[in-house]
Structure 1
Amino acid sequence: MMTGFRLNLSPLKEPLGFIRLVEWLTAIFAFGSCGGYSGRNIISLFCGDGKNETLSASFHYPFRLSQVPLIDGNTTLCNHSVATTHMVGDAASSAEFFVGVAIICFLYTMVALLVYLGYMHVYKDSDFGPMFDFGVTAALALLWLVCSSAWAKGLQNVKDATGEEGIHNTLALCKESDVICQVTEFAYMRTLNISVVFGYLNMFVWAGNAWFVYKETRWHSQKYSGQAGSGRPQVPAPI
């Protein structure tokens, strides 16, 4: 049996290869829309004496908000002395988990496409290749469900912490009777919403692809052979 590289693009015309290509693209969109994010909220303080103050809260991936300063160093705002204040919250674990799964899937699809396009003759002649491929595909589909759900919750926590109510609860100055705090400019978070959508989309794509990979395994072929054998008419024994 020859095991050398043989370039064959025909698997891309079949569901097995085409869906792998789709998975490669959706993984890029998933970690690109989350891992490269940076945003800023502008908080306006309306003081009782008619003066206005402005604060800036810049945050980015992996969203360790507790390290983001709202007020850096002791200062005076609206005639009140204010100590150093940081935002509240940390969504790093869910964000890094999400991006990590996306990168793993990106790398695995590249390896799988290399096998499909150059070593399909080896892949189909072995039992280990399709079974390993099916196991990894099913496991990654489950990981997409878990990491997308975790990141969806983490993103909601980020929105709550950077929203007006979150800022009001974090900044003690906002509780003063002569100070009104408002978020007058919100960070553009549509790309983060898109990342969650791509996370769940990846889950469905990988779960669907698991069926096509399963059809390449001996489990499916044995089941099909067993069903075909049971459907044959039995020949009566000679008397």
Structure 2
Amino acid sequence: KEAFSLVLSQILDPLASILFYLFCFLTAVLAFGTCGGYTGRNVVSIICGGSSNETLSATFTYPFRLNQELLVESNNTLCNRTVPATHLVGDSSSSVEFFVAVAILAFLYSMMALLVYLGYMHVYRDSDFGPMFDFVLTAVFAFLWLVCSSAWARGLQTVKDATSTAGIESTLALCTDRDVRCEVTDYASMRSLNISVIFGFLNLILWVGNAWFVYKETRWHSQKVNAQQAAGRGPNPAPI
């Protein structure tokens, strides 16, 4: 029974790793594909007391350096007031660029791992270095997905806050006047950005799961199993 379980494990574990790497490959593409190249535009309506209303566009694009995005051009006239050049507030470029970099590296490593598993499995299993190197890198990627997904989730919330009605009111000094009211009347769809965060945490789950199957290919796991089997059989009987 133990021999059958060992043979079955030797067949199924590599297949599981191949499936995990295939899913990691696809979800990594979807992770950086859903946030890279994004462009959004919120329409801001400025209600001027006693005069005609005004409209502004709050445009923001990847990599979301909001402090470089103009909300009002220099010396523009709004509600009969001269307004200086005003930018949006915030910078989420570090978090989203880190997220995209991890996704691209994970995509490349998954592709390389699939090539090794599908074409050079005999070489991979004949050495101790291959499985241990694979396990260490898989664990590192799992950690990186945790960090970059959490950072990008926070960065995305910064983008949402800065482009909301409250964010525009705190950015544009004109909105603090008693007879002026500012409101975002048309929001850009951020569905793809929300999906990118979901794919980030999905990648975390996939890489953690894959780390377990890759660990079972290493010498560390085989030594542990052999030690447990030896302890289960007990000491050899003393010679008579």
Give me the TM-score of the superposition, normalised by structure 2.
0.92
SS, match of residue 71 in structure 2: strand
Match of 1:193 in 2: 194
Question: CA offset at residue 176 of structure 1?
Answer: 1.2
Match of 2:164 in 1: 163
Q: How does 1:122-201 map to 2 (within 5 A)?
A: 122-201=123-202
Question: CA offset at residue 11 of structure 1?
Answer: 8.2
Match of 1:74 in 2: 75
Taking the aligned partners of 2:14 and 2:226, their CA distance within structure 1 comes to 26
SS, match of residue 34 in structure 1: coil
1:11·1:117 contact (CA, 8 Å) conserved in 2?
A: no
Where has structure 1 moved over 6 Å in runs of 4 or more? Answer: 10-13
Match of 2:101 in 1: 100
Q: 1:173 to 1:233 in 2, by over 3 A?
A: closer
Question: CA offset at residue 30 of structure 1?
Answer: 0.7
Match of 2:21 in 1: 20
Taking the aligned partners of 2:121 and 2:71, their CA distance within structure 1 comes to 56
SS, match of residue 73 in structure 1: coil
Match of 2:86 in 1: 85
Question: CA offset at residue 217 of structure 1?
Answer: 0.4
2:14·2:117 contact (CA, 8 Å) conserved in 1?
A: no
2:14·2:213 contact (CA, 8 Å) conserved in 1?
A: no
SS, match of residue 231 in structure 1: helix
Taking the aligned partners of 2:211 and 2:237, their CA distance within structure 1 comes to 42
**Among the aligned pairs, what percent are the same residue?**
63
- Output the aligned Cα RMSD: 1.5
Question: CA offset at residue 134 of structure 1?
Answer: 0.1
Question: CA offset at residue 227 of structure 1?
Answer: 1.5
Question: CA offset at residue 235 of structure 1?
Answer: 4.2
Match of 1:213 in 2: 214
Question: CA offset at residue 34 of structure 1?
Answer: 1.2
Taking the aligned partners of 1:13 and 1:129, their CA distance within structure 2 comes to 13
Q: 1:11 to 1:234 in 2, by over 3 A?
A: closer
Match of 1:3 in 2: none
Taking the aligned partners of 1:83 and 1:68, their CA distance within structure 2 comes to 14
Match of 1:63 in 2: 64
Taking the aligned partners of 2:14 and 2:217, their CA distance within structure 1 comes to 16
Encode CA deviations 1:120-177: one digit per residue, 9 max, x unaligned: 0100111000000000000110110011111111111111100000000000111112
Find out whether 1:35 has 2:36 as its counterpart.
Answer: yes
Find out whether 1:112 has 2:120 as its counterpart.
Answer: no
Please list every run of 5 or more consecutive structure 2 residues that lacks an aligned counterpart in the other structure: 1-10
Q: 1:33 to 1:155 in 2, by over 3 A?
A: same
Q: 1:28 to 1:11 in 2, by over 3 A?
A: farther
Question: CA offset at residue 234 of structure 1?
Answer: 4.1
Question: CA offset at residue 99 of structure 1?
Answer: 0.7
2:51·2:79 contact (CA, 8 Å) conserved in 1?
A: no
2:137 counterpart letter in structure 1 = V
